[in-house]
Structure 1
Amino acid sequence: MNRRRLLALLAAGATATATATGAFALSPRNRYYSGPPAHNFDGTRFFNPGGAAPRGFGDLLKWQTGGNRATWPEGIAIRPVKPAPRVDDLTITMVGHATLLIQVAGLNLLTDPVWSLRASPFSFAGPRRATAPGIRFEHLPKIDAVLLTHNHYDHLDTGTLQRLHGTHDPLVITPLGNDTIVRDAVPQMRVQTGNWGDTLALANATVHFEPCHHWSARGTRDRSMALWSAFVIDTPAGRIHHIGDTGFDQGRPYRHLPDKHGPIRAAILPVGAYEPRWFMRDQHQNPAEAVEGFLLSGARHAVGHHWGTFQLTDEARDAPLTALSDALRSKGIDAARFRPLAPGEAWEIPA
């Protein structure tokens, strides 16, 4: 294996961007979080109750050397947008990958903000942007809060968090353990954490921490030592269900939502980074599973994300769009209800 290929492989494993393997070695000490065992925490690591554990390094090697990776186009042209300062109702704008601007009932929220060129701990290796961000950083409206779902490098980008702190000073809302990572990089950043089932008040909204089926890692010795989470944001303009990454897990991230929260106006669901299925199935749902989850949740509309910005897995860049269209058609769902937004697209969600 040549040096360039080895560096790329290490970047893929260390960043944990969209792979389902956890670590090259395991450490007995959790430096991110210390707390008593709980329904999803064994005293050292978090886990998915009744779910599947991340795959090991041997499977990562098998996948990375399999040679079935599609070729993506480079330098895809987009037209960035400049959002309004505030929105009274609900507008969702795609920045790229899992970064979206949610403007709802006067609040401006960012999910998993990444404006960096690479989703990687390295400046010279790892997944590189295929598109520019759909909103230029300097054109962001005042950001009130960041919803940070987990610590993989395509979701938690400390360089972007430093920029946001310097210009917007937002509150970061994130599951247990990720606050240590954020404060190590941005010591003065305001951070609040929660476990699944917890709630936090945010201006005129309530943020609920909800389970999803995933894992976490920043390097080779910290697998699942910080928690991952979905969110339900309850606002005067309706409820929003946001998942950064999840496996379908027999529908468990979705089944409880109607009874617990009632009607959901908009779901923001991952639809990309899912091939090969033998490797990705447990941790990354595919578009057909995203549609199943959409139906189980009872959401009225959905935004598809986690596709088309960083090439993390084997499928072609546009494959999620075709697969989502086919899945919606097979279920008799109007495609206007579930839109995979491209960078720079904004959607005023119907009431």
Structure 2
Amino acid sequence: MSGNPYYQGPVTDHFDGKRFFNPGGVEPGGFSKVLQWRFREKPQPWPPAVASAFLQAWPDARIEGNRLRVTMVGHASMLIQSHGFSILTDPVWSERVSPFSFAGPKRANEPGIRFEDLPPIDVVIVSHNHYDHLDIATLKRLVRVHNPLIVTPLGNDTIIRRSIANARIQTMDWGDRFDFGLGLVFHCEPAHHWSARGVNDRRFALWAAFVIETPGGLIYHVGDTGFHEGINYRAAGEKYGRFRLAILPIGAYEPRWFMKAQHQNPEEAVAGMKLCNAAYAAGHHWFTFQLTNENIHHPERELHAALEAVGISRERFPALQPGAVFDVPQV
């Protein structure tokens, strides 16, 4: 027995028989580092509630042809539509991202799409098992109403099935390919991050980025990642050539001494966009839940500064607020 309650399998270059790891990477800080962060650092104040600059969206039932639309729900939850399919990423409609309903990071704004207004959902991507990405309550609702296929890295299926026995799940390891049909193919790729649902299950389930192959172009979706010297971005660009869209995290990055290995900042996100050869990018993982120390508006401001520094227009890399709709130009 491996001692891993989520996954058992052969040793690989990122699984030691018990825990997953980032090859050549940096492990997350231990409990002493967490205490140092929490008690020695002072987070910037967030308002208890802040309205999005956009109204709640009413998505079309289907987006046909080569059109590609991304609608922001909030944080890392987005609706991706093209060629008649609808994909949700890391869906969270819950009030808090926490193991508790009464404590933990609380939503600062309403979801950009009402759950009742969702179009038929074909696929849900769950990038890893942190509570701001894997929300069991929301997944239960989605399975009950839409019965989508859930695509997720190794080990996360065990967590989901404990609460949703009838969920349809496709698990993937880094480097795996899954053909959904109708020209929609999912590729599982490395991200520099980690996983845990509690204090005793660190790195028992895998984390990942995903490449979505569509008839209208390639989409590179990264839920959470440290920049990791650009290694994974460079590899993705070399492997796939060019992306129509990269969906990249831009928030939850301060203080850098603690967050740098696991959460990139906006400047690194812009560097990642360039390294992976993305024509357009969409910024997420900000504005809805306060997880770290930066001001609620800093990710967008620092993104704009980073784009200006390298001569990329803001239109090519918007920071998405709830309800924002990004119609990605064709490449």
- Normalised-by-shorter TM-score class: over 0.9
Match for residue 66 of structure 1?
40
Q: Aligned match of 2:16 in 26, 38, 42?
A: 42
Separation of aligned partners in 2, 1:327 and 1:273: 17
Separation of aligned partners in 1, 2:236 and 2:221: 12
Deviation at 1:203, TM superposition (A): 2.5
Match for residue 159 of structure 1?
137
Separation of aligned partners in 2, 1:54 and 1:279: 8
Separation of aligned partners in 2, 1:106 and 1:269: 24
Question: What is the TM-score with the length of structure 2 in the denominator?
Answer: 0.97
Match for residue 83 of structure 1?
59
Q: Does 1:130 align with 2:108?
A: yes
Separation of aligned partners in 2, 1:194 and 1:58: 33
Deviation at 1:40, TM superposition (A): 0.5
Moved more, 201-210 or 267-276: 201-210
Separation of aligned partners in 2, 1:68 and 1:248: 24
8 Å Cα contact 2:124/2:150 also seen in 1:
yes
Separation of aligned partners in 1, 2:193 and 2:107: 23
Which structure 1 residue ranges, 4+ long, deviate > 4 Å from structure 2?
Answer: none
Separation of aligned partners in 1, 2:282 and 2:264: 15
Q: How does 1:87-236 map to 2 (within 5 A)?
A: 87-88=63-64, 89-204=67-182, 205-236=184-215
Deviation at 1:77, TM superposition (A): 2.2
Separation of aligned partners in 2, 1:316 and 1:130: 13
Deviation at 1:258, TM superposition (A): 2.4
Match for residue 297 of structure 1?
276
State, as a whole percentage, how many aligned pairs show the same letter. 55
Q: Does 1:331 align with 2:310?
A: yes
Separation of aligned partners in 2, 1:341 and 1:29: 40
Q: Aligned match of 1:307 in 286, 294, 300?
A: 286
Deviation at 1:263, TM superposition (A): 1.8
Question: For residue 239 of structure 2, what is the amino acid of its counterpart?
Answer: K
Question: For residue 57 of structure 2, what is the amino acid of its counterpart?
Answer: V
Q: Does 1:52 align with 2:31?
A: no
Query: C-alpha deviations, 1:181-240, integer Å up to 9, x for none?
Result: 010110000001111000111122110001010000000100000000000001001100
Question: For residue 133 of structure 1, what is the amino acid of its counterpart?
Answer: P
Match for residue 5 of structure 1?
none
Separation of aligned partners in 2, 1:85 and 1:237: 18
Query: C-alpha deviations, 1:24-59, integer Å up to 9, x for none?
Result: xxxx71000000101100000000000001110001
Deviation at 1:67, TM superposition (A): 4.2
Deviation at 1:124, TM superposition (A): 1.1
- Name the SS for the 1:333 alignment partner: coil
Question: For residue 260 of structure 2, what is the amino acid of its counterpart?
Answer: R
Deviation at 1:98, TM superposition (A): 0.2
Q: Does 1:345 align with 2:321?
A: no
Question: What is the TM-score with the length of structure 1 in the denominator?
Answer: 0.91
Separation of aligned partners in 2, 1:168 and 1:129: 24
8 Å Cα contact 2:238/2:276 also seen in 1:
no
- Name the SS for the 1:65 alignment partner: helix
Question: For residue 224 of structure 1, what is the amino acid of its counterpart?
Answer: R
Question: For residue 129 of structure 1, what is the amino acid of its counterpart?
Answer: R
Q: Does 1:245 align with 2:216?
A: no
Q: Aligned match of 2:300 in 321, 331, 340?
A: 321
Segments of structure 1 that go 5 or more residues without pairing to the other structure are: 1-27
